[in-house]
Chain A
Amino acid sequence: MPSILTPDLGLLFWMFLAFMTVFLLLWKYGFPVILQMVEKRQNYIDESLQKAHEANEKLMAVQQECDKMMQSTREKQAALLKEAKATHDAIVNQARQKAADEAAIIIADAKAQIEAERQNALRSIRGTVAELSVQISEKILRQKLESDAAQQQYIQRLLDDVAVK
């Protein structure tokens, strides 16, 4: 039988020694350390993924809230704009009304003044006309009438007729 088929005591002895050496050393210092550390890292990665997932969910919630806030803000903005426009219109209308009123008062005043002025003018014209008439009549009547009083009376009567006309 070839030697590879016949168990050899010396080889078995050394194999036992060598394998036990490597087995015990790696049992103590080798494989458990590697397995433990890889497991630790695996747990860390799982945990991190979980955390990332949670953070993502939170972010989504925040995003939604943000959107909601934006929406309500827009609505408020629209309402405010509408209100502002109404106020604006009211103010303008009021101002217009006030201006119209004021203008009416001014016009009325002006009319009254004009009327007064006219009366004044009429009155002064009347006086002037009377004086002129007297002077003219005097000049005319000086020649014809002796009596001043009769003359004055007569002219006054004529003048009244004219004024009534």
Chain B
Amino acid sequence: MNRLSLFIVSTVVALFSFLPQTAVASESDEPGIDVKEIVLGHMSDAYSWHIVTWNGHHVSIPLPVIVKGEHSGWHVFMSSRLDHGHSHEGFFIDETQNGKIYERLDDGTIVRPLDLSITKDVLQIWIVVGLMLWLFIGAARWYRRHDVTRQAPGGMVGLIEMFVMMIYDDLIRPSVGERKARFFAPYLLCAFFFIFITNLLGLIPIFPGGANVTGNITITFFLAMFTMLAVNIFGNKEYWKEIFWPEVPTWLKAPIPIMPVIEFFGVFTKPFALMVRLFANIMAGHAIILSITCVIFITCQIGVAVGASISIVSFVMMIFMNALEFLVAFIQAYVFTMLSAVFIGLAQPEHHAHKA
């Protein structure tokens, strides 16, 4: 029964993932399909939320563009004004520069303005934030309104409790340590659910999902920075001593501070690893699914028979990849949280037992 429902779910997911890509097919009636362009285009941030292209017409949700011009101050307008290469108040989308907004000044020079637009990724992030607030504050309200010694939550609140306690008991408490677990739990839980929900929404190919948020280096950079700050701000004396005066033979730390330099690099390589790991995993997952989808359109151009047979293979592969990405969505959120918790735990060393 479980396997059947999993199959149905993944089939539906795979079927849905056809929709936006079908759009791509009609778009590329012109000879040749630029797979790289399609894949990168779908993974990149954008000023509007593209849904489907029908007979050459783009159907997309326009999003607000907020830019500060070099001399003209702040401008707020909908991204639909910049469609089809149009220019609005001197701002235009430069497709050669990753499709970012540029400003053409009066003297003809082109500069990148300060750009705080609500892009597709930003909207996706706010959707995730809204979802998280609804889920967790809703769950918290349940606990406030019920006597926990009389009943346990069921349904959605029960599911949330299961997830929260799984992360807290299996991951945060052993990694951070009992003493500080409570203090760091809100950040670690927040990071876990943010990444997990974002990853899941990223697998839904149409609005309100489908944006490649955790596969964008800016997002993972921010999350890794947050972890780095949490590690280093709350790291205790022992932690800093282990970095600058570790317990190694003296010739390794003076006069040439080999070990301190290596340890100090560790402060930055740890969050860097966090950043790249999450980014690369999610980006790769999206890229593979998109590429397998593109295979259908490439082979269909060669011939109907080849196209049909390869499409079946491709379709099965897509179901498999989506099921795999479903797993990866959880695993990467879990790994990010676990590594963050471990790094935070390592920055809170107690006086080692073997020293005493």
Contacts and interface: CB of A to CB of B under 8 A. Distances in A.
A26 B137 CA distance: 7
Contacts of B335: none
Interface string B116-137: 1111011001101100110011
Interface stretch (A3-11, A67-75, A97-105, A147-155): A3-11
A38 interface: yes
Interface residues of B, number: 55
Interface of A is mostly: helix
Interface of B is mostly: helix
Nearest to B146: A37
Interface string B160-172: 1100110010000
B44 interface: yes
A43 to B, nearest CB: 9
B95 to A, nearest CB: 11
B324 interface: no
B54 interface: no
B40 interface: yes
Interface in B240-260: none
A150 to B, nearest CB: 142
A14 B223 CA distance: 13
Contacts of B194: 19, 22
Contacts of A22: 129, 132-133, 190, 194
Interface string B138-157: 01100110001100100000
B186 A26 contact: yes
Contact of B217 (A7, A13, A25): A7
B44 A3 contact: yes
Contacts of B164: 31, 34-35, 38
Contacts of A14: 116, 118, 122, 125-126
A82 B143 CA distance: 69
B139 A7 contact: no
A29 B139 CA distance: 10
Interface of A: 1-16, 18-19, 21-23, 25-27, 29-35, 37-38, 40-41, 44
